[in-house]
Amino acid sequence: MFHIEEDTHFEIPHGLAVAMGIYRELELVKSDLLPLFVKFCDKFKIPKSVEEFWLQSKG
């Protein structure tokens, strides 16, 4: 179980935290859906990690 929102003191919106959790889970289980999810995130500029979120929010 991931605690992205709590770990970042709720600075990351819930929807983005959910997307990051989905990405982590797909990566962890080596899902065939991972490339499709990456395309989806890239198309809608959804960060796939906390680090990517901070980079996007600074830019």
Compute CA distances 11 → 17, 40, 51, whole Å.
10, 23, 13
pTM for the model: 0.82
Identify the pLDDT of residue 59.
67
Element at 14 (helix H, strand E): helix 14-28
pLDDT at 44 over 90: yes
Task: Give pLDDT tens digits for 13-31.
Answer: 999 999 999 999 999 999 9
Identify the pLDDT of residue 10.
80
pLDDT at 11 over 70: yes
pLDDT at 1 over 80: no
